[in-house]
Amino acid sequence: MKNDFMFSSESVTEGHPDKLCDQISDAIVDKFLQKDPYSRVIAECAVATAIVFIAARFESDAVVDFTKTARQVIKQVGYDEPDFNAKTCSIVTSVKELLSHDYRYWDAKRLSDDEMELIPVKDQVTVFGFACNQTPALIPLPIWLAHQLARRLTAVRQEKILPYIRPDGKTQVGIEYRDRKPYRIHSISILASHNQQPESYLGNINTLQEEIKETIIDYVLKDNECKPDEKTRILIDFDEPFSIGGPSVHSGLTGRKNAIDTYGGYSRHSGAALSGKDPTRIDRVGAYAARYAAKNVVAAGLAEECEVQLTYSIGVARPVSIQVETFGTGKISDEEIKTLLEKHFDFRLAGIIKKFNLRLLPTIVKGGFYKKLAVYGHVGRLDLEIVPWEEMDMVPALLE
């Protein structure tokens, strides 16, 4: 295990085609659960020039307008160019309503402990949760800063501070580590799509780069403890000269940004996508439960870094394996931490749904819940009012 290294993570704005797909998929999940909290749904999306394709399979008493939902998301994201916009893009759907079964109507809050044992997972998956003390959100610094820059890149467009910026954009932050702790910012990259005309673009490239630096990089990092120095490489580019970016330039697909959704590649993550799935899918909610456990371990001071691995098998309620790795930073042994997690955390599917109230959150949270997770990360979200797996309420139990 290296102590001195450089690590970089990237984020993308909500207009990136992959993230547009994630938001459409999760908006569909929100719509189903708002109308029928016992809905089971898998929704996937693909986008390209002037076209959106939605594939969904569901069991529900709800009626959801897939086309209307997709157009609402596209409009909200800000696509209004002739090549791709909410009004004129073609939307193709492959939708199948599955035969409904009574077993989907179980209410986790009313189940006894014995009854929870009878609710097995329907998939096999290994999921990971991670936390570290590098940032207030207890996620790695590279992805934390990359998300902040991406959010600001969107904000300067929405607030018309830089009105020529378009919805599609990328950010990347490299951090140099010494003794496994952030030491300095090695590099910052921003790629922004725009609608500047060729004649103004060619004469003002330096001006555009300076505006990006002042309104985004300097703004985000002005109060950050780790700041750029004279050796920090700052790269500001634009997505093809005069390119508006988005689906008219490159295609998108649900679930293609797992590292951005989690820990920026700094820690392991599941190979399964998180977006577009209802709360009965263990490959989604199991990742949230693992993050919840890891964050509380770090918040309790039991380790400076913690990775929790949960392995589930089809037909079994509990994970068949729980593993803990603290990378030599634990105040107690990894085995002791594992024992604490087994004692205080319920990693069963019904237990996770009950603890986090996952079926009702789309109704409780104004504007839907899962769609808000689909961009800027499913973990470390201090900007959202309710994200139950980010709570640190298990710290007292771990310290008993």
| pLDDT at residue 243, rounded to an integer | 60
* pLDDT tens column, 6-37: 999 999 999 999 999 999 999 999 999 999 99
Average pLDDT over residues 164-180: 93
- Of 34, 134, 21, which Cα lies nearest the Cα of 74? 21
Q: What percent of the chain has pLDDT over 70?
A: 96
Q: For 43, what's the count of Cα atoms within 13 Å in the CB-facing half-sphere?
A: 35
Q: In sequence order, which residues have a C-beta less than 8 Å from that of residue 254 and are 6 or more positions away?
A: 18, 21, 22, 24, 25, 43, 44, 45, 46, 273, 275, 276
Q: At 272, phi and psi to the nearest 5? A: -85, 145
| pLDDT at residue 207, rounded to an integer | 79
> Is the pLDDT at 176 greater than 90, yes or no?
yes
Locate the domains of the chain by residue range.
17-101, 125-134+255-272+281-399, 141-250
> Is the pLDDT at 94 greater than 60, yes or no?
yes
> How many Å apart are CA 99 and CA 94, to the nearest integer?
16
Q: Residue 3, class by beta-carbon neighbours within 10 Å (0-12 exposed, 13-18 middle, 19+ buried)?
A: exposed
| pLDDT at residue 242, rounded to an integer | 46
> How many Å apart are CA 180 and CA 53, to the nearest integer?
44
How far lies 9's CA from each of 107, 190, 307, in Å? 39, 12, 18
CATH architecture entry for 17-101: 2-Layer Sandwich (3.30)
CATH of domain 125-134+255-272+281-399: 3.30.300.10
Tell me the H-state helices in 159-274: 198-212, 218-221, 258-261
Among 3.40.50.150, 1.10.3720.10, 1.25.40.10, 3.30.300.10, name the CATH number for the domain at 141-250.
Answer: 3.30.300.10
* pLDDT tens column, 267-318: 999 889 999 999 999 999 999 999 999 999 999 999 999 999 999 999 999 9
What one-character DSSP code corresponds to residue 217?
I
* pLDDT tens column, 321-361: 999 999 999 999 999 999 999 999 999 999 999 999 999 99
- 141-250 has the same fold as 125-134+255-272+281-399: yes
pTM metric for this prediction: 0.94
- Of 306, 333, 338, which Cα lies nearest the Cα of 322? 338
> How many Å apart are CA 221 and CA 345, to the nearest integer?
37
> How many Å apart are CA 38 and CA 141, to the nearest integer?
37
Chain center to CA of 85: 24
Beta strands in 108-226 (DSSP E): 125-132, 165-178, 181-194
| pLDDT at residue 225, rounded to an integer | 82
Q: In sequence order, which residues have a C-beta less than 8 Å from that of residue 86 and are 6 or more positions away?
A: 71, 72, 74, 75, 79, 80
